[in-house]
Amino acid sequence: MRAVRTNALSLVRNLGILAHVDAGKTTVTERILHLTGATHRRGEVHDGTTVTDFDAQERERGITIFAAAVSCAWDGHWINVIDTPGHVDFADEVERSLRVLDGAVAVFDAVAGVEPQSESVWRQADRHGVPRIAFVNKLDRAGADLDAAVDSIRERLGTVPLVVQMPVGREDGFTGVVDLVRMRALLWPAGDGELTEGPVPQELRDEALRRRRVLEETVAGLHPAALEEFCDGPEISAATLTAALRDVTRTGEGVVVLCGSAYRNRGVEPLLDAAVAYLPSPLDVPAVRGDVPGGGTAERAADPEAPFTALVFKVHAAPTGRLTFLRVYAGTVGKGTAVLDAGSGRTERIARILRVQADRHREVERAVAGDIVAVVGVKAARAGATLCAPGAPLVLEPATSAAPVVSVAVEAVRSTDTGRLATALARLAEEDPSLTVRTDGETGQTVLSGMGELHLEVAAEQLRRDHGLEVSVGRPRVAYRETVVRGVTGHVHRHVKQDGGAGQFAHVVLDVGPLGDGAGKDGGGEAGGGEEGFAFTSAVVGGRVPAEYARAVAAGCRDALAEGPLGGHPVTGVRVTLTDGATHSKDSSEMAFRTAGRNALREALRACAMTVLEPVAEVTVTVPEDAVGAVLGDLAARRGRVSGSSVRGGTSVVTATVPLAELFGYASRLRGRTRGRGTFTSRPAGYAPVPAGVPVR
């Protein structure tokens, strides 16, 4: 029989499963669902039968891409679990999930210990103040070492590990754990049998007592009540130790460490027990605080009777309907209720409320404080929006989205699909705020930006599979410029046209040269889409070219700057001086002088020494100190010019100017050279000449 939440708030747990890719967090989630009766068949990642990795791409790639919410019941408690991605490209999905969680289980590989993305998601949880317990998984693997994994937790994460279990057996012989809090053995017989409880094996008793003493000493150093009992008696009681571990976990001063093998179904029951014992309920976390529209702030406690307040953390805009995922922080909401999107001021009506089990849903009549549910009927709210009671508006702080670091150009293979592609891209960006879509005003390309190349590969595959679009994906064209290196003087151009009726006559003499630093924009402004520089002056004396005709020459020159002689790129950084000219009493006009100015400058530019400019970016790279050499070598290979380097807290920060064309693929290369621990940010830094011999792409 499917469990239905009837629990009090104190018996609710909202948990996330966090880990590096392949540490086993999806398997942990699947075992939790099977063990609690939420599913009747164990899902396996390698078979593509998992509940939470339900998307076709997740099953093909064998990784979690989209955060999936599931619910289950254990020991009288209601547990909402979000299985989060482990790949660095989907860190934004983790960020949005952590924003609405009260606690988390961090899963570590018993062979690898703390891996790069484990460290990243741990830091994300630190920023959100989410209490965690740790589960060292895969103790049945060759080379598994609980103590080494614990050491890496201490050293890499800077926290105090509180190891409450020790393994029974090693590698293939791993059959269970010793519970150091209650001094008992928990064993799972061969063949994935049920849990059996018994006394600590005699051969392990001395080691278990030693580890129990280490645990007591560590906890006593963090908790006053435990310290008092530790000093007064021979040992700390199980009840006092449990209470102290709960307090230390919730304050973040330490992390409880358990161990097991989720794949072999060993260690999951005590992990669930630890989750409900040590991690907080909605009543144990501070009341949410938000801004009141019009000024001021207010708090909302986790109370079903308080004004309804919920945060949207995920949107799934499927063709069959739009699902909006909510964490309800306060109040109660039922079907048909009108709610306010506090940020936009738009009123929405909730048509249905769904209890979520990954891609399967069950309709419920209402949602109350502490719930994580999906709703149907909300048409416009985006991830990060606050939905609240119309009479008590409050805007909660949304999760922050990182700036995209990789871009690709996307276009429909069939021109008739251009409109559908725009709609599909808008839907992808609505579901995933870390994806951005823009149209390059100069190249006309549709540019899709995201957190990494895998992130963009997944998005492109969604366009093909979910939206039935044939798309081509490639490197965006870089917006090059051309500029004058050495100019010409006294360039003469005569424009004469006589084809019946009024003729056209304009005679101009131009000096053309590079625009010096600090030069103003006289009569020019932006030229043909160029970002700067067109300085135009008239030095004509004696009224040989009237002022209105000089302005027409300036306009014609701006027209000419739209395409340069080297490759048709916009021309920038040019100074033009009109030094002389002549008019005709009948055939001269502003149109004639504009045409003359355009043609004269085009001819003059062909006579000038020109060069192509490329956009460059200022890149700040943060890497471990042992990876600095590899990173500097890679920057040099990308024609980067290092401008500075410093050391901050054990990491090196390198700043460099790098051509934008060379940054394509840099995110993946940097992660590969630093084992996923390197990050970078970039910002536009203007233009620089393309060196001789470098192709213009």
Residues forming the annotated binding site for GTP? 19-26, 83-87, 137-140
> Residue 448: what are its φ and ψ, rounded to 5°?
-105, 125
Question: E-assigned strands of 320-467?
Answer: 321-330, 332-334, 338-341, 346-349, 352-357, 360-364, 366-368, 372-376, 386-388, 395-396, 406-412, 436-439, 446-450
Q: Which amino acid is at 242?
A: T
The 3-state DSSP class for residue 137 equals strand
Q: Do residues 573 and 532 touch, judged by C-beta distance below 8 A?
A: yes
The distance in angstroms from the start CA to the end CA of the chain is 62
DSSP string, 220-245: HTT-HHHHHHHHHSSS--HHHHHHHH
Map residue 264 onto helix, strand or coil. coil
**DSSP E strand boundaries for 498-593:** 504-514, 534-538, 574-582
Closest Cα partner for 565 from 612, 530, 528? 612
Separation of alpha carbons 684 and 479, rounded Å: 12
The residues near 633 (Cβ < 8 Å, ≥ 6 apart) are: none
* Token pair in block for residue 600: 């004269």
Beta strands in 189-308 (DSSP E): 196-198, 255-259, 288-291, 297-300
Sequence-distant (≥ 6) Cβ neighbours of residue 185 within 8 angstroms:
168, 176, 177, 178, 179, 197, 198, 199, 200, 201, 204
Q: What residue spans of 452-607 are helical by DSSP H?
A: 453-465, 547-560, 590-607
Distance CA(225)–CA(218), nearest Å, equals 13
The answer to whether 616 and 686 are in contact (CB under 8 A) is yes
- The SS3 of residue 20 is coil
Which helix (H) or strand (E) segment holds residue 623: the answer is strand 609-624
Q: Which of 475, 438, 468 is nearest to 453 (CA)?
A: 475
Q: At what angle do helices 224-232 and 202-220 cross, to 10 degrees?
A: 120
**Alpha carbons 174 and 153: distance in angstroms, whole number:** 22
* Coil/strand/helix, residue 317: strand
Unique residue bearing structure tokens 């471990």: 624
- In the DSSP assignment, the letter for residue 513 is E
DSSP 473-505: EEPPPP--EEEEEE-EEEEEEEEEE-SSSS-EE
CB neighbours of residue 374 within 10 Å: 21
Feature table: binding site: 19-26, 83-87, 137-140
Residue 584 corresponds to which amino acid?
A: H
Q: Give residues with Cβ within 8 angstroms of 175, minimum separation 6.
A: 168, 169, 187, 188, 189, 190, 266
Residue 349 one-letter amino acid: R
Distance CA 182, CA 499 (A): 105
Report which residue type is found at 440: D
Virtual CA dihedral for 403, 407, 411, 417, nearest 10 degrees?
Answer: -20
